[in-house]
Each structure stands twice: as C-alpha cells, then as structure tokens.
Amino acid sequence: MPTMNEGYVKTVRGSVVEAVFENKLPEINNKIVAGENHEMIFEVSSHVDSTTVKLIALTFTAGLARKDPIWDTGNHLMIPVGKQTLGNLYDVFGNNLVDSEKKEDTILRSIHQDPVSFAQRSSSDEIFLTGIKAIDVLAPLPKGEKAGLFGGAGVGKSVLITELINNTAKKSKGYSVFCGIGERSREAEELYREMRETGVIENAILIFAQMNEPPGARFRVGHAALTMSEYLRDVEKKDVLLLIDNIFRFIQAGSEVSGLMGKMPSRVGYQPTLSSELSELQERISSTKTNSITSIQAVYVPADDFTDPSATHIFSHLSASIILSRKKASEGLYPAIDPLNTTSKMLNKRIVGERHYEIAQEIKRNLAIYDELKDVIAMLGIEELSKENRDTVLRARKLQRFLTQPFFTTEQFTGMEGRFVELEDSLDGFERILNDEFEDYRESDLYMIGNVDEANERRNNNS
C-alpha cells in the first residue's frame, strides 16, 4: 500500500522489534505490518527517540531481518463488530476462523476504546440468575458488574463458565461474548463444536488467543472482546454476558511483554504495571442507563495461593468472588464451590430480601460448625458429639450434597441429565433441609439433583 508510512527494521529481539520511521513517527498503539503480504503484525508500544519506535509482535517474527521495510497503517488494530459477528469464532485480528469469506458491510472498531464516563454509568441491584443453586443462593451475581471464579488447575472453572453460557443462552436469550485468553487450543474447538450442537452459538461470539500464540496477541484479545461487547451494548442495545477464561493469562501475557520490553520486574516477578493494565481492561466492563455488560471471569490461582499478587489485584475489581476448592472437587462435590469463602455484595437483606438472606446465613452457619467439628469426628467419632452438634453435622452433610448439581455441559461424561434450578425452588429446598424435613433421608438421595422433590423420587425408587 503506497499511502502507508514506510520505515525499516533496526533490531529484532524475539517479539520486540525496534523500527525507524524518518518521515513521521507512528502513534502509540498503531498497527504496524511487515513481510511480503503484510502477514507480520505489530503494535507500537513506546517511542525510543524522535525517529525510533519499539514494537511488540502480535504474530511470529521468523524471517524478519534488519533493514527490512515496515509500514505504519495509521490505525489501531481493528475488529469486526455488530450482529453479523454472532455465531462466529474470531482471532485477535478479527479474522473469522470459521467462515473466511470477507463481507462487504462489516463494521470495524478499534480495540482501544475509552471506558464509559462516570456520568453515563448506572448501577442497579438486579440479580443475574444462573440456574446454579450454589451460586444463586450463596453468592448471587450482580447484573452489569464483575464476578470471578477463583481456583487452581483442574477444579472446574471452564466447566462452570460453559454451563453459564448454556444457561444464559437458553433462559434469557441474551448475547454472550466468550473470550479465551491463553487457554489450551483444543478448548476452543471443543467449545465451538459443543455450542453449535446445542444451538447456543447463534447468540454468542467466540474470540480466542491461544496458549501457542505470542504474548502480544494474548495481551490484546481481552480488549478486542470488550470492543465487541461494547458495540452490542451501546449500538444494538442488548444486555451482554462477557465470559473471560482466563483473566490470569492476561496478567501473565502482560508480564511476558513487560519482560521482553526490559522493564524491571515487581513483586513475585510480575510487571510493575500490573495494577494499571488490569484496571484499564476492567474499567471498560460497566452498565449504562440502557444496557449492561455482565462479566464472569475465570481466575487461575497459581499453586492455590490466594495471596498471589495476580489474585489480590483481581479481587479488588469484583462484586462477587466464587472460590472453587480442590478439597470439594476431590470429594466429588461438583460444582466444587467453597460456600464459606465465596462472597457477594448482593447477599444483603435490602437486595435479596430477608428470607433469602436468612437461608444463606443458616446454610453457612451449619457448614461452619461442621467444618470446626471435623477434627473431633475424625479422632473420636460422631457419637461423641452432643445431640445438637450431631444434628447440625448431619444437616450440614445433607446441605453439602444438595449444593451439588448435574450440568448440561457434562451430560456426556456423567450420564446425568443437566438441571436448571429456579431461585425459588433452590430456596425452598434449602429451607426444607434446614427445617429437618429430610432427617430420615440418606445423604445420597440429595446428591446431584435439581429440585429437592427429586429426593423423594430417588428414595421411592431405592426402597
């Protein structure tokens, strides 16, 4: 393209390239291209001097040499937006990975957008219902705000996220944007195929930057997903569910980019700009007076250490934190949500009502007492407890079993049909267990069911 501002490559250090532009210095965040077919893509990261810029590669730089020509496009990285993007799978450059045919009427937007101004924001006390008992009762998610699913490797974050997509699409017919940051390559293909088979894909957009891609691409895919979500919220006037799997990989990609740029590492080796980079992304997730973006983010916790700087910085942005426990997963209690450490600002009498609040607090009280008595039971046996404590322990174990739920997205693995449980049915079930209506039932009668009435069917079938 002859109109583009041309420069040349000065140095190549892996994913970091220095380039000289003698005519006009490109602006920060501009998209720069190189190679015969402009197949190499870079983003301007910083200005070195009056003619030199530092670029971060978003594609692999193999074959790039000193003195090679390089071009400034004059624009940021652009991504397609609007209704025609629904049902498709994209990469960070806006390439459709399912249908490569370019459409003439595609609307493009820069991945770098300013957050909604404070005056245009709105906050409501509306609850985002998921159909998952443990979440809706113990940690109701706020509509138009951010919630995190915290857990180490293999405790069920991705399964929970896919279940949320499934339930949202079927129940509310809302739009979902799924952003995969640095996750396994097979997960993208599996998720797309699964969503297509269940018919959920029609109201969803998938955008991925996989584990095998350069850190620059993984660092920018979150911004691209937000641009798509903002357009659906502001122009199409729709409520959007933005799912990010995994926000820790965004921080990790930022750390890699920071290291490549030669910045001095901060605490535990993270980048010194961790807080500002995360805030820049999270601030764009908000509600306007007409529509909202609700974000649910999976957060990998390195070595199950919740004091890790990545986890502590993410906590501060969230309105609800759902903690997934390895111990619960090992006991077969799925979803492996830790009810005692899971919190939500929505669990407030004024918002959820007195009945819901009291039931949630009573569940937590019973489970907390059981937790305290576990050591005594292990050493002396349950018979040594007082009658009151023994009743509490048996009740808590039933509550634990009732907090489990079969998922639609795991039907093919478990052979159990998924359940979507309405909030009223969940509250009713927990209330009846707390009132000892199921005192004579076996714990297994309450395990992996939806409504509490299924326990009666199971009991009758077993008798």
Active site (catalytic) residues: 157, 183-184
| Exposure string over 112-124, b if 16+ CB within 10 A, otherwise e | beebbeeeeeeee
Count CB-CB contacts under 10 A for residue 108: 13
Question: ∠138-144-149 over CA atoms, to 5°?
Answer: 45
Q: Which two tokens stand for residue 48?
A: 């070195």
Question: Distance (Å, rounded) from C-alpha 14 to C-alpha 62?
Answer: 9
Residues 6+ apart with CB under 8 A from 210: 180, 182, 183, 184, 185, 188
